Amino acid sequence: MTGQYPFLKVVTRLFLFGFILTICTTGFSQSIRLTTWNLRLDIASDSLNQWKYRKDEVARIIRSSGASVIGTQEGFYHQLTDLTSRLPSFGFVGKGRDDGKKGGEFCAILFDSMRVTVLQDSTFWLSQTPDKPVKGWDAAYLRVCTGALFRDQQSGKSFWVFNLHADNEGERAREEGSRLVLSAITSLTRSNPDLPVIVMGDFNATDKALSVQLLQKRFIDARLATRKKPAGPEGTFNGFRFPFSGGPRIDYLFVPESATVLDYLVDDHSVNQRYPSDHFPVTVTLILP
């Protein structure tokens, strides 16, 4: 019949092309990009690596990355407002770890208000008293985790992001902190446990550590699940040492098993042989269930 009616071949091909294009376009439009990045606190002893010399480049990288949600660590309040003043559509949620207000380092989550809406947020301390600013277990410093519930304005889907900075010295604090985060996730998502959850941050530990493995039991390490080959170096901590000759992978994004990880990037971009932070930003593109 198609030999007698050649136009049917054309119609069939056009239909198939449109169907495939719709699937691809829908998948792409529903993907969302997220980043975890330890900004490095603003401290005068960093000399030429001090924040005032880095802030413009940090903002530029965030803008060019296309990330809609960025989990940051170490940033002071003025560092965060430096970024939002340079990124007009961005806001942030989080509290300073020193006083639960603006004091001390944040684990703030930056977000593009043109893409996502914040529905709920919570900051808690990684300690035996999560609602109070105290050090936990054998931690050297106060440590917090900030969680936020977002709605993607494009897909209409809601999802949680939990962003933390684990202690750099206390092994027990790191392990108990991971357990506390998992418990907080269960508590905060109880009303809708089917919503996807992403956990990100600076864990100050390699994937051999129990504190990381506890997350791996419940979530998927985005680096191990990406469809494309991971881009950039494996290590994420550079210590401002240029050129980067290798370092530990201590910054992670953990995603639900039902998520599709399209790509994964550790961005080792530098300007004039200087890195914009002592950690590289880690960015993933996801399709959430």
Residue 15 resides in a domain: no
**Structural domains in the chain (count):** 1
Closest by Cα among 206, 118, 114, 132 to 166: 206
Instruction: Count CA within 13 A, CB hemisphere, residue 39.
Output: 35
Q: The domain containing residue 240 runs over which residues?
A: 31-287
Q: Which two tokens stand for residue 239?
A: 């210590």
Residue 204 resides in a domain: yes
How confident is the model over 85-111, as a mean pLDDT? 99
- In DSSP notation, 116-167 reads EEEEEEEEEESSSSTTS----TT-SS--EEEEEEEEETTT--EEEEEEEE--
Residue-wise pLDDT for 157-192, tens only, equals: 999 999 999 999 999 999 999 999 999 999 999 999
218: domain CATH number is 3.60.10.10
Residue 95 resides in a domain: yes
How confident is the model over 263-281, as a mean pLDDT? 99
- In DSSP notation, 51-64 reads HHHHHHHHHHHHHH
Kindly tell me if the per-residue pLDDT of 11 is higher than 80: no
Closest by Cα among 122, 38, 111, 116 to 69: 111
What's the pTM? 0.90
Q: Which two tokens stand for residue 146?
A: 């900030």
Kindly tell me if the per-residue pLDDT of 22 is higher than 50: no
Kindly tell me if the per-residue pLDDT of 19 is higher than 70: no
Residue 180 resides in a domain: yes
